[in-house]
Amino acid sequence: MKVLVLGADGYLGWPTTMYFSGKGHDVVAVDNYFRRTEAHALECEALVPNPDLEERAALWEKVSGNTIQVYIGDITDYGFLRNIFETVQPDAVIHYAEQPSAPYSMMDRDRAAFTVHNNLIGTLNIVYAVKEVSPECHIIKLGTMGEYGTPDIDIEEGWIDIEHKGRKDTFLFPRQASSLYHTTKIQDTDLLWFYIRTWGLRVTDLMQGPVYGLSTEEADRDLRLMPHFSYDEIFGTVLNRFVVQAVAEYPLTVYGKGNQTRGYLNLKDTMQCVYLSATQPANRGELRIFNQVTETFSVNELAQKVKKVGNGLGYDVQLNNIDNPRIEKEDHYYNPVYTGLLELGLEPHYLTDDVIGSMFSIVDTYKDNIKRDAIFKGVSWK
């Protein structure tokens, strides 16, 4: 299979690139280094400096014998993306190339406008490149569970049957998110769903919860192949942040009451989910949606787990329930369905104390890199 990974330098992009390459597929990696550049500008670089994409591809070739072709450029430039499609003729495109941070999207007008433009024009360009160059190509788009928000009804996998005044129809499950970033993911679904119906594209939308972890089978072969691991408020996900905070003995920043509940998954399971989706593609004209999580936790539960493991390892882990900088419900119903990927073959890695302990171990190796100032800056939704 020829696979195009867009956003290949990122937390998920690089491990995905290696995962497919390791299984013998022809992988082409594309990135514009947005995350690196902005993390540097905002002084919240990854815990471990990552070699650039070309260096990582060369390293990977040494350890695996497999070649990864790299293109550095911006997919909002249609000519750039279209040329890659013409050269590669991909069977699948994995679209991670969106601005992925909720706080970043809330910082100011310019970053909000960047998020809207980048995420929607990037997605539109993929649609056009597929239509004009590779109409059979399967688009795997990373969505987010955050699109659904926290409704008072069970969250189905993307679709819902509605009975109203004695008549029935099936619709996209209602979406209302609590950041601009998450809202652009609703909007890219609107966009894809329109073109799927109009041009018969095949699309899988992976509604992913926050991911944790920094270990994959491929990354573990050489520390320089580690994913881009952010621990700051802007680009870091919650469990990863908490482990770094615990190692730094910086009280865990629990927002508000901490009863906010979400679905989570291990980085290794993201790899599986994307791979299972690629090898069992959606049909032409289908928008196939999976809720990509393996278990749900409240923020308090995560903090308690990290505290327990950290204390056991001898760290002084404190919790700090700070004023919530976000606007979100702190007490709410949350019951998502997530059986579709299990049916495709997903074998989950659950969040055990051992998993958290091994995260502590890697983070501790790099604890001198931790910048305490990067951990919490208080980007406010107001």
Read off the amino acid at residue 95: H
Q: In what order do the strands lie in the sheet with 295-298?
A: 211-212, 261-266, 295-298
144 part of the active site: yes
Find the shortest distance in angstroms from Cβ 380 to a copy of itself: 11
Question: Phi and psi dihedrals of 112, rounded to 5?
Answer: -65, -50
Q: Could you say which of 123, 184, 185, 366 is catalytic?
A: 185
Helix (H) or strand (E) holding 300: helix 299-312
Residue 193 CB, nearest distance to a copy of itself (Å)? 6
Which span (9-17, 60-68, 192-200, 353-361) binds a copy of itself, by CB under 8 A?
192-200
Site for a copy of itself in 147-186 (CB under 8 A): 151-154, 160, 162-165, 167-169, 171-172, 174-180, 183, 186
Give me the sheet containing 287-292, strands edge to edge.
68-72, 26-31, 2-6, 92-95, 138-144, 202-208, 287-292
* Residue of the chain from 48, 58, 59, 191 that contacts a copy of itself (CB under 8 A): 191
Distances (CA, A) of 226 to 16, 51, 59, 138, 142: 12, 10, 11, 27, 21
Query: Binding of a copy of itself at residue 197 (CB under 8 A)?
Result: yes
Residue 289 binds a copy of itself (CB under 8 A):
no
**Going residue by residue from 59 to 88, which x/- string records binding to a copy of itself, judged by CB under 8 A?**
-------------------x----------
Q: Does residue 128 touch a copy of itself according to CB under 8 A?
A: yes
Question: For residue 285, how many other CB atoms are within 10 A of its CB?
Answer: 13
How many angstroms separate the CA atoms of 154 and 90, rounded? 37
| Residues 313-342 interacting with a copy of itself (rule: CB under 8 A) | 327, 333
Beta-strand relationship, 167-172 and 159-164 = antiparallel
Measured from the CB atom, is 26 or 77 closer to a copy of itself?
77
User: Residues interacting with a copy of itself, by CB under 8 A?
Assistant: 78, 109-110, 112-113, 116-117, 120-121, 124-125, 128, 132, 151-154, 160, 162-165, 167-169, 171-172, 174-180, 183, 186-187, 190-191, 193-195, 197-199, 327, 333, 381-382
